[in-house]
Structures are given as structure tokens and as C-alpha cells.
């Protein structure tokens, strides 16, 4: 009897194991072979070196477009008014993560959804603007990297003081529809160095000429270009007008200087930030919540000076400033 009882127990155990294995196989068979779907929202238009840097970051993490990830690109092509519609479209097609690159796309994505995770490759003052509760604990559906532009504004003002010791009045070119408290911080930084300050707001390319005419009327000594994907998309027009008006410019991104003819940039390496933002996307796709992913800060900064532009506007860059430059365009 004991032998038969033992045999029956073994048979029952084997049957249970077989049933569990079949159940697991059935569940695996029913589980969809799902490819991650990402949505990129951008104010400008391709080609975009920063989005290319993000894609490089994805590849480094093993994501291959068309193979194990689908990327839905939505370009506003310089038309701010299209951002809300494009953000809603990404929500409608149910992307897994929205990569909102720039102030306008961030606001449009935030207004479109409070459920789909939003990764910001670069964001200005996310706590002060109310986008996140804190850098360590964002608390909502947004996370990413901050450019610390508020802190950099003081550096920009100091650079102007060094290259233009007699400067007394600064203007700031601002993308009006997508401004997130930038001009107030710029004004505070200007006043700390006893500069007069004027904000020049633009919302379309048609506004550019008027903005520079206003700068001339105000006897501006230099211009700050505050972060904006819209202005970035039209950077050639901006820098050409600056040269025409012989107005020194300080920019938030090296591409303005190396590729578009701006005078000086001192900023985080945005290509590095966009590449690093792919790590946030990877973590979210693997189950992390944006609310728990800290907003990271930049690790690489660079000073870039364009001596060709300096010559065109009749400006001599002091040797001590040139010595600190990471790159000099000659």
C-alpha cells in the first residue's frame, strides 16, 4: 500500500508540473510580441542634430528603429500653433513615451496627457515653472534633464562684461508663445551686473526684423538668445540679422556658433544631454515611473567663440576669454 501511495503521489505531482508548464506555455503564446512605440515632438524640422544624438543613445542601448522600436516623428516645422495638434495625435496613437524636445513641445505634451510618460531631453527651470515637484522626485508623468539655464544666465552676463566692458544695455530674444519664465530670470541676472534690460518677444519669422530694429533703437550693446526650438529652427536668419546690425550675441547652444555664425555660446553640451535622455526612455520602457526618475543635470559645458563673426561686427575678443574657450572658429 505504501508503495502504491507513493507512486500515486509522484504521478499527481508530475501531472501538476505538466499542467503548470502547459499553462505557462499557453500564456506565453497569448502574450503579444509588442514593439515599443515612441513619439518625438519637435518645433523645428529635420535634419536635427539633437534628435540624431537621441537616436544614437537609443542605438547604444540596443534599440533599433523598425526592429524593436518604432519612432513616430512629429515636426511642427517652425509653426508653434501646430504643437497642440501634434501632441494630441501622439496621444491618440497611444505611444509608450513622448520625447518632448523644447519649451513649446513640453507644454503641448503636458497639456495633452497626464498619463503617458514624457521625457524632456532638455528643460529650463522645471521646478520653478511647475513642470515637476522637485528634481529628485518629479512626482508626475514628466522627467528628463535640465539645462540649468537660470544659473547660466549669470555666466552669459559676465561674458558680455568681459568682452564689452563699457556695455550698459542688454536685450534678450525670446520665443513668446513658448516662454517659461525665462525673461524674468534674465532680467534679474542683468540687474545684478547693473545692465539695463529689454525683452524682445517674437512669435514668427516675420517678427525678427522688428525685434532687431527695436534693439537698435534701444542702443543695445549685446543680445542674449534664450532657449527656444523655434528660434533654433531659424537660427540662420537670427544670426544674419545680428551681423547686419553689428550686434554681439550670446547663445545657449554651440550649434548657433559653429554652424550658424553666432558670436559666443556657453552652455551644456546639448547633444550629450539628448543622447543621455535615451536612458530615461529605456528605464520607463522597462517599468520605471517618471515620477520616480530624478531630473538629471548637465555634466559637460563648453565655451565656443566665432572669431569670423567677431571680425564681421568689428569686435576684438580679449585674450583671457579666448584662452578659456573650448573651441574657436577662425
DSSP 241-259: HHHHTT--EEESSTHHHHT
DSSP tag of 100: E
| Least confidently predicted of 211-220, 235-244, 294-303, 314-323 | 294-303
Residue 222: in which H helix or E strand, if any? strand 222-225
What's the pLDDT tens digit per position in 286-317?
999 999 999 998 888 899 999 999 999 999 99
Most confident of the ranges 63-67, 129-133, 191-195: 63-67
Same domain? 311 vs 195: yes
**pLDDT for the residue 28:** 37
Same domain? 127 vs 189: no
Residue 30 has a CB neighbour count (10 Å cut-off) of: 7
**pLDDT for the residue 284:** 98
Please state the length of the chain: 330
Higher pLDDT, 255 or 285: 285
In this prediction, residue 260 has a pLDDT band, given cuts at 50, 70 and 90, of: very high
DSSP 255-318: HHHHTT--SEEEEE-HHHHHHHHHHHHHHHHTT--GGGSPPB----EEEEEEHHHHHHTT-PPP
| Least confidently predicted of 30-34, 79-83, 230-234 | 30-34
Same domain? 118 vs 157: no
Residue 262 clears pLDDT 60, i.e. is over it: yes
Whole-angstrom distance, CA of residue 161 vs CA of residue 100:
34
Q: Is 64 a member of any domain?
A: yes
Q: What CATH number has the domain bearing residue 122?
A: 3.40.50.2300
Task: Specify the 3-state DSSP secondary structure of 127.
Answer: coil
Cell of 185: 530670470
**pLDDT for the residue 8:** 52
Residue 133 clears pLDDT 90, i.e. is over it: yes
**pLDDT for the residue 177:** 65
Same domain? 57 vs 205: no
Same domain? 315 vs 196: yes
Q: Is 207 a member of any domain?
A: yes
**pLDDT for the residue 89:** 98
Q: Is 2 a member of any domain?
A: no
**pLDDT for the residue 178:** 61
In this prediction, residue 180 has a pLDDT band, given cuts at 50, 70 and 90, of: low
**pLDDT for the residue 35:** 92
259, 176, 249, 197: CA torsion to nearest 10: -170
| Least confidently predicted of 44-48, 54-58, 88-92 | 44-48
- Could you tell me if 304 and 327 are in contact, meaning their C-beta atoms sit under 8 angstroms apart? yes
Whole-angstrom distance, CA of residue 18 vs CA of residue 24:
10
Same domain? 275 vs 138: yes
Q: Is 323 a member of any domain?
A: yes
Q: Is 25 a member of any domain?
A: no
What is the pLDDT of the chain when averaged over all its residues? 87
Residue 219 clears pLDDT 60, i.e. is over it: yes
Say how many domains are in the chain: 2
How buried is 139 (Cβ within 10 angstroms: 0-12 exposed, 13-18 middle, 19+ buried)? middle
Query: Which sign does the torsion angle of CA 146, 147, 150, 151 carry?
Result: positive
Q: Is 72 a member of any domain?
A: yes
Whole-angstrom distance, CA of residue 164 vs CA of residue 305:
14
- Strands 97-101 and 301-306, by their bridges, are unpaired
- pLDDT above 90: percentage of residues in the chain: 65
Same domain? 252 vs 283: no
How buried is 26 (Cβ within 10 angstroms: 0-12 exposed, 13-18 middle, 19+ buried)? exposed
Whole-angstrom distance, CA of residue 165 vs CA of residue 62:
51
The residue segments making up the domain with residue 283 are 36-146+270-292
**pLDDT for the residue 237:** 96
What's the pLDDT tens digit per position in 5-40?
444 544 555 555 545 444 444 433 333 457 999 999
Same domain? 132 vs 193: no
Q: Is 251 a member of any domain?
A: yes
Per-residue CA distances from 267 to 49, 152, 217, 309, 314 (Å): 16, 7, 29, 19, 24
Same domain? 109 vs 126: yes
Mean pLDDT value of segment 48-71: 95
In this prediction, residue 226 has a pLDDT band, given cuts at 50, 70 and 90, of: confident
Same domain? 278 vs 320: no
Q: Is 86 a member of any domain?
A: yes
**pLDDT for the residue 26:** 42
- pLDDT above 70: percentage of residues in the chain: 88
In this prediction, residue 228 has a pLDDT band, given cuts at 50, 70 and 90, of: confident
Mean pLDDT value of segment 234-241: 95
Same domain? 175 vs 285: no
Same domain? 208 vs 277: no
Amino acid at each position: 500500500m505504501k508503495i502504491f501511495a507513493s507512486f500515486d503521489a509522484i504521478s499527481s505531482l508530475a501531472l501538476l508540473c505538466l499542467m503548470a508548464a502547459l499553462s505557462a506555455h499557453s500564456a506565453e503564446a497569448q502574450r503579444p510580441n509588442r514593439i515599443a512605440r515612441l513619439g518625438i515632438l519637435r518645433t523645428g524640422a529635420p535634419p536635427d542634430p539633437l534628435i540624431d544624438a537621441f537616436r544614437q543613445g537609443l542605438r547604444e542601448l540596443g534599440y533599433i528603429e523598425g526592429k524593436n522600436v518604432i519612432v513616430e516623428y512629429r515636426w511642427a516645422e517652425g509653426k508653434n500653433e501646430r504643437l497642440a495638434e501634434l501632441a494630441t495625435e501622439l496621444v491618440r496613437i497611444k505611444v509608450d513615451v513622448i520625447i518632448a524636445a523644447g519649451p513649446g513641445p513640453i507644454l503641448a505634451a503636458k497639456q495633452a496627457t497626464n498619463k503617458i510618460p514624457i521625457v524632456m531631453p532638455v528643460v529650463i527651470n522645471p521646478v520653478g515653472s511647475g513642470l515637476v515637484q522637485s528634481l529628485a522626485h518629479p512626482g508626475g508623468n514628466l522627467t528628463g534633464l535640465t539645462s540649468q539655464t537660470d544659473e547660466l544666465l549669470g555666466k552669459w552676463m559676465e561674458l558680455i562684461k568681459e568682452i564689452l566692458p563699457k556695455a550698459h544695455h542688454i536685450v534678450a530674444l525670446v520665443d513668446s508663445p513658448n516662454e517659461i519664465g525665462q525673461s524674468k530670470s534674465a532680467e534679474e541676472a542683468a540687474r545684478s551686473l547693473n545692465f539695463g534690460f529689454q525683452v524682445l518677444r517674437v512669435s514668427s519669422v516675420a517678427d525678427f526684423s522688428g525685434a532687431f530694429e527695436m534693439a537698435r533703437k534701444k542702443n543695445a550693446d549685446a543680445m542674449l538668445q534664450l532657449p527656444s526650438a523655434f528660434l533654433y529652427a531659424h537660427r540662420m536668419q537670427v544670426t544674419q540679422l545680428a551681423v547686419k546690425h553689428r550686434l554681439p550675441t550670446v547663445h545657449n547652444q554651440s550649434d548657433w556658433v559653429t554652424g550658424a555664425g553666432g558670436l559666443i555660446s556657453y552652455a551644456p553640451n546639448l547633444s550629450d544631454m539628448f543622447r543621455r535622455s535615451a536612458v530615461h526612455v529605456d528605464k520607463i520602457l522597462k517599468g520605471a515611473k517618471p515620477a520616480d526618475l530624478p531630473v538629471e543635470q548637465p555634466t559637460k559645458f563648453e565655451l565656443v567663440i566665432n572669431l569670423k563673426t567677431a571680425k564681421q561686427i568689428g569686435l576684438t575678443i580679449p585674450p583671457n576669454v579666448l584662452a578659456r574657450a573650448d573651441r574657436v572658429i577662425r
